[in-house]
């Protein structure tokens, strides 16, 4: 995982240095799935709606492909059920992934709109939670990936829908490691700035 984190950081630095575009964006995350696994046992649950912000740098390779790098910050969201039980406390958690991204723009006529497919690969540099969420455990990040697509609604407005998986770990004071995974669909809207003008 450390190797992956270093590779993502190197890619981010390289893309940022040669970026032609920058896009800040706002994210709306629909209720998702949260799971915890340890010692062969897995507990699945659900999360409430969430919000986030992010930013991505882009470097178009040609008319079909664009590479980039991004960072997402998730505002705290709640695990509402786990293992069949309703969670009534005020827990809140979130991830902060740093990632590389690849966009494919197929030649499709959509009445002036420009469609694209998108793949994100990266590492959660932060997995955080409040006291109700983590208790006396320590949280660490892990692998992140997402797949989706979107539309360029104009020269500057971009809308996306992505299905992402965010991995991390909880470590108890007794040394027990719990693998955690958060899966959700996110909707985002962003504004593209041309850095070369």
pLDDT in tens, 12-64: 666 666 789 999 999 999 999 999 999 899 999 999 999 999 999 999 999 99
CB 94 within 8 A of CB 128: yes
Provide the whole-model pTM. 0.92
DSSP the chain: -HHHHHHHHHHHHHHHHH-SEEEEEEEEE-S-EEEEEETTEEEEEEE--EEEEEEEEEEE-SSSEEEEEEEEEEPPB-EEEETTEE--S---EEEEEEEEEEEE-----BTTBEEEEEEEEEEEEEEEE-HHHHTT-EEEEEEEEEEEEEEE-SSSEEEEEEEEEEEEEEE-TT--EEEEEEEEEEEEEEE-EETT-
- C-alpha distances in angstroms, 49 versus 45, 146, 149, 172? 14, 18, 21, 27
Return phi, psi of residue 106, to 5°.
-70, 155
Mean pLDDT of 168-183: 95
Residue 5 has pLDDT above 80, yes or no: no
Residue 3 has pLDDT above 80, yes or no: no
**pLDDT of amino acid 105:** 96
pLDDT in tens, 71-124: 999 999 999 999 999 999 999 999 999 999 999 999 887 888 999 999 999 999
Q: Residue 4: which pLDDT band, with cuts at 50, 70 and 90?
A: low
Domains and CATH numbers, the chain: 2-194 (2.40.160.20)
- Give the torsion through C-alpha atoms of 10, 158, 94, 58, to 10 deg: 0
Residue 1 has pLDDT above 80, yes or no: no
């Amino acid at each position: 995982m450390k190797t992956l984190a270093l590779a993502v950081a190197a890619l981010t630095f390289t893309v940022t240095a040669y970026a032609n575009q920058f896009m800040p964006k706002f994210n709306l995350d629909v209720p998702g799935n949260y799971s915890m696994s340890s010692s062969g046992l897995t507990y699945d649950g659900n999360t409430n709606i969430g919000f986030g912000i992010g930013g991505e740098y882009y470097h178009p390779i040609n008319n079909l492909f664009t590479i980039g790098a991004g960072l997402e910050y998730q505002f705290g969201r709640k695990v509402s059920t786990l293992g069949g039980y309703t969670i009534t406390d005020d827990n809140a958690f979130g991830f902060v992934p740093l990632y590389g991204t690849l966009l494919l723009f197929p030649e499709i006529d959509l009445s002036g709109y420009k469609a694209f497919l998108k793949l994100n690969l990266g590492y959660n540099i932060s997995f955080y939670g409040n006291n109700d969420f983590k208790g006396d455990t320590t949280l660490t990040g892990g692998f992140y990936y997402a797949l989706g697509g979107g539309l360029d609604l104009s020269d500057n407005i971009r809308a996306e829908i992505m299905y992402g998986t965010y991995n991390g770990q909880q470590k108890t004071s007794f040394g027990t490691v719990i693998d955690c995974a958060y899966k959700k669909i996110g909707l985002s809207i962003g504004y593209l700035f041309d850095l070369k003008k």
